[in-house]
Amino acid sequence: MVMVLGILGSPREQGNTEILLDEALRGAGEAGAATGKLKLAGLDFAGCSECEECYVTGQCSIEDDMDIVYDALERADRILLASPIFFMGLPSQAKAMIDRTQRYWALKYLLKEDFPAQGTSARYGSFIGVGATRGKQLFDGTILTLKYFFDAIAVKPLRDSYLLVRGVDEKGEIRQREGIPQSAARLGTMLATRD
């Protein structure tokens, strides 16, 4: 069975991002996938300390709740990061999580080892992003970061599937945006059923 992992990058409970992530996971579940959700703000983990231990061992020297995230990233077949934009990039919780996947970058590029995937299906990644403003470049920096994040965790980014929503700010406002929750559900279905 395909396992779809949703990672919530927003610290706001039941905010716009979480509403869309829940819709996507509902779509994935209804399409027959097993689903899991990780709320990064509910975990206690540090950023990367650049100690370089992973360059030698492939393991992270810091013992904290990132172990939960590592385990989930290795078990999942499909990884959906959902996040708001803070200061034109990812919120600190999501960026810290990505920085801590440097151990997988080290595995791949320094130690020449395969990602320790535990699933049996193809690994794909997608993204749901929301922001309050409407600028053309609102998601550009984040999309570039995700390209390298998904490469480190051995996931093929389904770039055309990214759901990018501009002009949403107030908590829960996304519910009133016609067609957007439905688009999130369709994204989840696609992630669950993609060969």
Ligand X SMILES: Cc1cc2nc3c(=O)[nH]c(=O)nc-3n(C[C@H](O)[C@H](O)[C@H](O)COP(=O)(O)O)c2cc1C
∠ Cα 133 191 93 (to 5°)? 45
Shortest distance in whole angstroms from residue 66 CB to ligand X: 22
Shortest distance in whole angstroms from residue 114 CB to ligand X: 34
H helices present in the chain, as ranges: 16-30, 54-57, 66-75, 92-99, 102-109, 140-152, 180-193
Shortest distance in whole angstroms from residue 140 CB to ligand X: 12
Question: Of the two residues 15 and 157, which places its CB atom closer to ligand X in the complex?
Answer: 15
Question: Of the two residues 156 and 171, which places its CB atom closer to ligand X in the complex?
Answer: 171
d(CA 181, CA 174): 8
d(CA 29, CA 23): 10
Shortest distance in whole angstroms from residue 14 CB to ligand X: 8
For 122, half-sphere exposure in the C-beta direction (CA atoms, 13 angstrom radius) is 10
Question: Of the two residues 36 and 141, which places its CB atom closer to ligand X in the complex?
Answer: 141
**Residue nearest ligand X by beta-carbon distance:** 15
Question: Of the two residues 86 and 105, which places its CB atom closer to ligand X in the complex?
Answer: 86
Question: Of the two residues 31 and 163, which places its CB atom closer to ligand X in the complex?
Answer: 163
Shortest distance in whole angstroms from residue 15 CB to ligand X: 2
Q: How far is CA 154 from the centre of its chain?
A: 13
Phi and psi angles of residue 180, each rounded to the nearest 5 degrees, phi first: -75, -50
Site for ligand X, rule CB under 6 A = 10, 12, 15-18, 84-88, 130-133, 138, 168-169, 171
